Amino acid sequence: MILLKETDKELAQRVAERLRKIIASMPLIYQNKKVSLTVTIGVSEYNDEKSDLDDIIREADIAMYKGKSHGKNCVISA
């Protein structure tokens, strides 16, 4: 989980997408073999209307699993 202070959902999605691209562009070397990495990220937003941390984490988790079921290596917003 990454918490971004004073960041709306749109900006959080852009940050997550940059992170996803960086991870995908940096293969890992394991036992002299190049291993490609990917990440699927779910994004949710804390605001005045949604302030229960458990609900926000649950939303991000659901979004992440939705992304994983739709091909992986993506950013999905709750």
Q: Residue 45: what are its φ and ψ, rounded to 5°?
A: -125, 135
Residue matched to tokens 């979004």 = 63
pLDDT of residue 9: 92
Q: Are 13 and 43 in contact (CB under 8 A)?
A: yes
Residue matched to tokens 């992440």 = 64
Q: Are 60 and 44 in contact (CB under 8 A)?
A: yes
3-state secondary structure of 28: strand
pLDDT of residue 61: 96
pTM for this entry: 0.86
Task: Give pLDDT tens digits for 5-59.
Answer: 889 999 999 999 999 999 999 999 999 999 999 999 999 998 888 788 999 999 9
pLDDT of residue 49: 83
pLDDT of residue 7: 92
pLDDT of residue 38: 94
